[in-house]
Amino acid sequence: MTTTRTTRAPSTVAGGVGESTLRPDGIAKLKGEFDYAQDLRAENMLWGATTRSPHVRARIVSVDIAPALAVGGVHAVLTAEDVPGRGAFGLEHADQPVLASDEVRYWGEPVAVVAAEDEDTARRAAAAIEVEYEVLDPLVDPLVAESEDEVFRRMRIRRGDQETEGAVIVEGYYEVGMQDQAPLGTEAGLAVPDGHGGVDLYATSQFVHIDHSQVVASLGLRPEQVRAHPTGIGGAFGAREDVNLHIHLCMLALHTGQPVKMVYDRAESFTGHVHRHPAQMWYRHHADENGRLVRVEARIVIDGGAYASTTSAVLANACYFAVGPYRCDSVLIDGVGARTNNPPCGAMRGFGAVQVCVGYEAQMDKLAARLGIGPLELRKRNGLATGDHMPTTGQRIETPMPVADVIDSLAAMPLPGQDDEAPLPGGSGLTTERDQVRRGVGYALGIKNLGFSEGSDDYAVVRVRLTGDGAVVETAAIEVGQGLVTVLAQIARSALGVGRAEVRHVDTSRIGSAGSTSASRQTQISGGATLEASQRLRERILDRHDGDDLTDLGVVRDGEVVVPMAVLTTESWEETVTFRHPPTEPPDDDGQGVVHADFAVAGHRAVVDVDPELGLVTVVRIDTAQDVGKALNPESVRGQIEGGILQGVGLAVMEELIMDGGVIRNPTFTDYLLPTILDAPDVEALLIEQDGSWGPFGAKGVGEPPTISSTAAVIAAIRDATGKEINRAPVRPQDIAL
Amino acid sequence: MIVEFALNGEPANARVVTSVSLLDVLRDQLNLPGSKNACDQGECGSCSVVLDGSVVCSCLVMAADVQGSEVTTVEGVAADGVLNAVQEAMHAAGAVQCGFCTPGIVVAATDLFAANPTPSRTEIKEALAGNICRCTGYGAIVRALESISGEKS
Amino acid sequence: MASGAVPVAGGTDLMVEANFGHVRPENIVGLRRVEELREWDGRRIGAAVTWRRLERDGPQALAQAARTVGSPQIRNAGTIGGNLATASPAGDGHPFLAAVDARVELVSPAGSRAVAWDEFFTGVKRTSMAEDELISAVLLPEDLPDRHEFGKVGVRNAMVISTVCAVVTRRDDGRTTVGLGSVAPTPIRARQAEEMISSIGSPSGADLAEFARLVSAETTPISDHRSTEEYRRHAAGVLSRRLLERCLR
């Protein structure tokens, strides 16, 4: 219908973008009434448990399940031969056995699963299975693996003149240990058979559609026979992108015909999910006498463990961001994702960009020291800006790249005074007195891609409906605590002009994929879909009813309500949008191309107090400036920044899975140390908002940038306090004191 | 054996074997899943409850040993349906993300304010030293509790 | 216990074992609320006295140690008796008991007896208690030293198993004792270091350095996932020296 009527932009509604709207599930969580996967139950529910390999590498000679079947109350004991469909799963390659059959390749690899009347019985039955192993020599050194061509991927980046050399050259070797995501909620799930050969799965996850496709493949079912439901989850940070108990649960449910629940305990959780890749890096930075980077060479080896998971993408990320947010026209990066018998490694917040930042920021400080240039000044001289080319891929940067603003902001933030109230190193252990402390200050910048890369078809489907309850945003995009359910509703409110809006999760049968809750992508991509769907819905409503505005009252024309909301919502109004970010491409053989969808930069300044004689560290304060595009919910952004920074602090001074010949020595909270409230530094965050990103209202993802350079900044501060050349994360007391 | 005790102000009883924890009984038998199991060894505080006037990890309390005791869980810190001051403050400050640590923090913080209505920042932190949060970095939690220090709880 | 019953007070060690299925006690003896075990009469501390009470009311170095045990939740439940019964080499309360030559009172159907701390601890998580004995109290000597100071090295500011922990005591007449944890299978005293420094009324910097060196030399730490032998030796010496310096002020 032709019209010359112009529609008004939506009026500002309460609870729209830019506000620190309170999260809709907050009250339930505070009252202990929010259902997590571990809280679900069903009638006639059985409990599942897993039999795991006690060996790092072994051939399976025989599996005797009779002792388990003989335990009273056991309903099913399943092994590899009971897998109805594809025997393996995996995010990049389906190389990981659902249940091991010929060989176990890492400590704790699942060999069998059991369903029983109660959890205790299930665990006892799982322990009763007799597996005969022929123990084999494990391969646990990634450098040896590389030399034997046991690799998931080799990566090569060559950009610019490879003969260039700089007037000043600094070299260094750096290591990052294995960090764990350690979300407080462990892996948990409930699978409910539907009585017709299909199953409903409610499990901890970051990406229900990919769980669905792997369950379908391994169970040999038709897609419509499996429904994966977004379920309450106690954090993720990358640990839940891969399948862990999903296929096992569905197998047990279909085999027994009863609902089956499984919850990993903490040690099993450490064993049962992927970890951050340990990394070894050799760097050579060339600069001119003004500190401008002339050439960067790096060799990066990450240990992918026994199965592929996302090692290929993590390695790629590490290599693409191995120079950092700096200009450089001559680059050589060689990367290896090694295959060993260590536990499989995969996604953890930061995804490869964290490890290399420890290396390149140490190198930048070395250059600064060698040239007598201040650390921030050196970075300013080299910082990328919009219109520059990424040093590694050559990609022209089209969206905001406010490295200079980040640096200037950090420099302007006041340093704390010597605060006699700040906890001394050693805390209540009373090891240290004020005059035994040296204070240090360190800086680091980091860069991360947003969204998936290298030509991935990265999209999200969202449906927005206008109902008698207000706007409903339907999605399968997972909420892990980051506040997606808050911000999608805010976007819908602002775009529709309607104040009542909520997000409802629906399962894989009811909506298309939203992709993974990872890569800092959901606000931009599911948010982008929500924005577009809301805008289109509003246009269609106004077009249909010849209105110029939509508000909570209904359709408005010339200031009058012409269709009250109650009437409007008797009609069916919905819009489903698949939102894709600007396309990316796979790299050429030299790693060149428009590989990434968007970038975010952040800078951190760490202030630490160190007791050099005992090597104990207190992180006093971290100031940060972060490129966020547009803060759709400032308090949520601050929460992501403070939480991410503390994970970075953990990697800097206390978090490491200690491996011993492929066995994890500390799979407990007693000995895998997470920062407590007494370890948390004061944090001041400055949000840098610049237009230009393709995210809704210009928003950029904010979850990962806080983890990229916070670790490197703390290490730099420790170096400043001690004068020691620390080259690893985490820094242990003996690295400082001895 | 049957153990009888006061739970959130009401009489309760459960059938227990000797080694089962109070946490398991609360969650599995007494339909109070608010207390969470994140480590089962007293290292994270997610299972915190008040037992005979002190905050403890319910995963380390032998259920058989609460005969005649008083237990308060997160479900019992506030009067019917209403949030207490700690819960209100945490909600307003954005101190909840995934929420798995939240019940334990609510219990520990409520207990702190019951004993000391005007805790300093240091006292707040020391009272919560046994509660691990992996999402928030604790910043919003501290801001929330500081905001009600000095007010009536 | 001879009957096979397992004693439990706070449960902070036993329940960890039970939760992971390592023990499944059929019968327990609940000690948490046994009044006599909670009595604290001057130098006789009942076995069921919690770390919370010790934090508030204990002699200085024991109170300092109590403050570092676990978390507030653990301190509300955990007891000095439980800490002894578990006999971890890293027990935070043990260095104090060693440094003041405390005794452990044990009770059984046959009566009660008191054993010296170094007869009580026999190895890693092993004690000399008979099967039918319970710890009833810790007995501190009447005349505690004039000064005592505690310190614990750990990588985190709360809830951490000690890498090294120590108590140094000093009397006005110079007698010095050094109790150490996490540097041997049981808590130990650094006797040579004690002997050397006890005869020096005003130790110099060089004396203190030698003292630290002797302490280090008397430790027999291991390397494990928490720390290395080398660091533990080093930290034991540094910590002991600093604690002595505080005693000398």
Amino acid at A158: R
**Among B residues 15-34, those touching chain A with beta carbons less than 8 Å apart:** 27, 32-34
When the pLDDT of each residue in chain B is averaged and rounded to a whole number, the result is 95
DSSP C69: S
What is the extent of the structural domain holding A495? 26-34+459-580
Contact between chains at B18 and C25 (C-beta distance less than 8 A): yes
- Last residue of a domain, which of A230, A246, A272? A272
- Provide, as residue numbers in chain A, all residues whose Cβ is less than 8 Å from the Cβ of B107: none
Q: Are residues A443 and A465 in the same domain?
A: no
Distances (CA, A) of C56 to C26, C51, C60: 35, 9, 9
Interface probe, candidates A33, A184, A645, A714, chain B, greatest B C-beta count within 10 A: A184
Q: For residue C10, list chain B residues with Cβ-Cβ distance below 8 A.
A: 60
Give all domains of chain B, ordered by start, each with its CATH number. 2-76 (3.10.20.30), 85-148 (1.10.150.120)
**End residue of a domain, out of A548, A580, A612:** A580
Query: Does A321 map to a domain?
Result: yes
Cα–Cα distance, B27 to A391 (Å, whole number): 54
With contacts defined as CB-CB under 8 Å, which chain C residues touch B129? 71-72, 157-159
Q: Is residue C225 packed enough to be buried (19+ CB in 10 Å), middle (13-18) or exposed (0-12)?
A: middle
Q: Indicate whether A13 belongs to any domain.
A: no
How does pLDDT run across A105-159, given as a tens digit for each residue?
A: 999 999 999 999 999 999 999 999 999 999 999 999 999 999 999 999 999 999 9
Average pLDDT of span A423-436: 94
Q: Quick one: tokens of A264?
A: 């990993």
**Angstroms from C153 CA to nearest CA on chain A:** 6
Backbone angles phi, psi at A87, to 5 degrees: -80, -5
- Tallying the residues shown for chain B, one arrives at 153
User: Is the Cβ pair C73, B57 closer than 8 Å?
Assistant: yes
Domain end position, chosen among A538, A561, A580: A580
| A547 lies in the same domain as A633 | no
Q: Which of A374, A520, A540 is nearest to A464 (CA)?
A: A540
Give one DSSP letter per residue of C36-66, joined into a string: HHH-EETTEEETT-BHHHHHHHS-HHHHHHH
Grade residue B72 by pLDDT with cuts at 50, 70 and 90: very high
Q: Where are the extended beta strands (E) located within A389-432?
A: none
pLDDT, position C1: 59
> Which pLDDT value is given to residue A4?
57
Is the domain of A618 the same as that of A546? no
pLDDT at A527 over 60: yes
Indicate whether A120 and A222 sit together in one domain. Answer: yes
Q: Is there a single domain that holds both residue A126 and residue A258? A: yes
| CATH number reported for the structural domain that contains residue A224 in this entry | 3.90.1170.50
Question: Which residue from B minimizes the CA distance to C16?
Answer: B41
pLDDT in tens, A452-509: 999 999 999 999 999 998 999 999 999 999 999 999 999 999 999 999 999 999 999 9
Of the listed ranges A317-331, A530-544, B77-91, the one predicted with least confidence = B77-91
Q: Answer whether residue A172 is part of any domain.
A: no
What does the pLDDT look like over A652-708, one tens digit per residue?
999 999 999 999 999 999 999 999 999 999 999 999 999 999 999 999 999 999 999
Q: Please determine, for residue A3, whether its predicted confidence score (pLDDT) is greater than 60.
A: no
Q: Contact C21/A120, CB-based, under 8 Å?
A: yes
For A320-348, letters b (16+ CB in 10 Å) and e give bbbbbbbbbebbbbbbbbbbbbbbbbbbb
> Looking at CA atoms only, how far is residue A609 from chain C in angstroms?
13
Residues A595 and A573 in one domain: no
Query: In angstroms, rounded to a whole number, what is the distance separating the alpha carbons of residues B26 and B57?
Result: 12
Contact A355, A277 (CB under 8 A): yes
- Asked whether residue A152 is domain-assigned, the answer is no
- Please state the separation of Cα A205 from the chain's center in Å: 12
Residue C5 burial by Cβ neighbours in a 10 Å radius (0-12, 13-18, 19+): middle
Do A506 and A520 belong to one domain? yes
Structure tokens at A308: 């592929």
- Select from C64, C158, C231 the Cβ nearest to the Cβ of A678: C158
pLDDT recorded at residue C48? 95
pLDDT digits (tens, 9 = 90+) for A204-259: 999 999 999 999 999 999 999 999 999 999 999 999 999 999 999 999 999 999 99
- Contact between chains at B19 and C18 (C-beta distance less than 8 A): yes
Domain assignment present for A148: no
Binding partners of A (≥3 Cβ pairs within 8 A): B, C
* Span C96-120, average pLDDT: 97
Q: What is the mean pLDDT of chain A?
A: 97
Decide if C226 and A613 are in contact by the 8 Å CB cutoff.
no
* Helix extents (H) in A98-141: 119-128
Q: In total, how many domains does chain A have?
A: 3
pLDDT 10s digits, A530-544: 999 999 999 999 999
Confidence band of A1 (pLDDT split at 50, 70, 90): very low
C32 vs A269, more confident: A269
Maximum CA pair distance of chain B? 45
Each residue's pLDDT tens digit, C194-224: 999 999 999 999 999 999 999 999 999 999 9
Contact list in C for residue A654 (CB cut-off 8 A) is 155-156
Q: Is A698 helix (H, G, I), strand (E, B) or coil?
A: helix
Are A293 and A332 contacting, i.e. CB atoms less than 8 angstroms apart?
no
Residue A194 CA to residue A227 CA, distance in Å, equals 10
pLDDT at A420: 66
Rg (CA), chain A: 26
Indicate whether A15 belongs to any domain: no
Contact residues for A495 (Cβ-Cβ < 8 A; gap 6+) = A10, A530, A531, A534, A535, A538
Domain match, A559 and A603 both: no
pLDDT digits (tens, 9 = 90+) for A378-423: 999 999 999 999 999 999 999 999 999 999 999 999 999 877 677 8
Output the 3-class SS for chain B: CEEEEEECCEEEEEECCCCCEHHHHHHHHCCCCCCCCCCCCCCCCCCEEEECCEEEEHHHCEHHHHCCCEEECHHHCCCCCCCCHHHHHHHHCCCCCCCCCHHHHHHHHHHHHHHCCCCCHHHHHHHCCCCCCCCCCCHHHHHHHHHHCCCCC
Would the CB atoms of A431 and C230 count as touching at under 8 Å?
no
Q: Measured between alpha carbons, how far is A73 from A391 in angstroms, rounded to an integer? A: 62
Question: ∠ at Cα A171 (A170, A177), nearest 5°?
Answer: 135
Q: Which chains touch B (3 or more CB pairs under 8 A)?
A: A, C
Contact residues, B window 76-135, toward C, CB-based 8 Å cutoff: 108, 126-127, 129-131
Are the Cβ atoms of C157 and A653 closer than 8 angstroms? no
Chain B residue numbers with beta carbons less than 8 Å from the beta carbon of C77 are: 51, 54, 56-57, 60-61
A166, A292, A364, A576 from A285: Cα distances, Å: 8, 10, 8, 49
| pTM, entire model | 0.97
Judge if A602 and A568 occupy the same domain.
no
Answer whether A639 sits within 8 Å of B137, measured CB to CB: yes
Q: Per-residue pLDDT averaged across A256-264, rounded?
A: 98
Q: Are A239 and B104 in contact (CB under 8 A)?
A: no
Residue A69 lies inside a defined structural domain of this protein: yes
* Per-residue pLDDT, A17: 97
Contact yes or no for C182/C164 (Cβ under 8 A): yes
Interface with B, mutate which of A673, A677, A682 (most B CBs under 10 A): A677
pLDDT in tens, B13-65: 999 988 899 999 999 999 999 999 999 999 999 999 999 999 999 999 999 99
Helices B85-92, B139-148: crossing angle, 10 deg rounding: 130
Same domain? A612 vs A544: no
**Predicted pLDDT of residue B153:** 44
What are the two backbone dihedrals, phi and then psi, of residue A287, each rounded to the nearest 5 degrees?
Answer: -140, 160
Task: Based on the fold, state whether residues A430 and A551 are members of the same structural domain.
Answer: no
Percent of chain A scored above 90 by pLDDT? 97
Q: What is the pLDDT of residues A574-619, one digit of tens each?
A: 999 999 999 999 999 999 999 999 999 999 999 999 999 999 999 9
Q: ω before A730 within 30° of 0 (cis)?
A: yes
Helix residue ranges, H only, chain C: 14-19, 35-38, 51-57, 60-68, 72-77, 80-86, 94-99, 117-120, 191-198, 205-218, 229-247
Across the interface, which of B62, B65, B130 has its CB nearest the CB of C74?
B130
CB contact under 8 A, C153 and A426: yes
Q: What percent of chain B has pLDDT over 70?
A: 98
Q: What is the pLDDT of residue C2?
A: 58
Q: Classify C42 in phi/psi space as left (phi over 0), alpha (psi -120 to 50) or beta.
A: left
Whose structure tokens read 């899943």?
A: B33
pLDDT per position as a tens digit, A161-190:
999 999 999 999 999 999 999 999 999 999
A102 shares a domain with A68: yes
Distances (CA, A) of A228 to A208, A488, A509, B70: 6, 21, 8, 41
Domain assignment of residue A20, yes or no: no
Tokens (6 digits) for A681: 């530094």
Cβ <8 Å between B61 and C71: no
SS3 A156: strand
User: What CATH number is attached to the domain comprising A547?
Assistant: 3.30.365.10
Q: Report the pLDDT value the prediction gives residue A139, as an integer from 0 to 100.
A: 98
Is C59 within 8 Å of chain B by CB? no
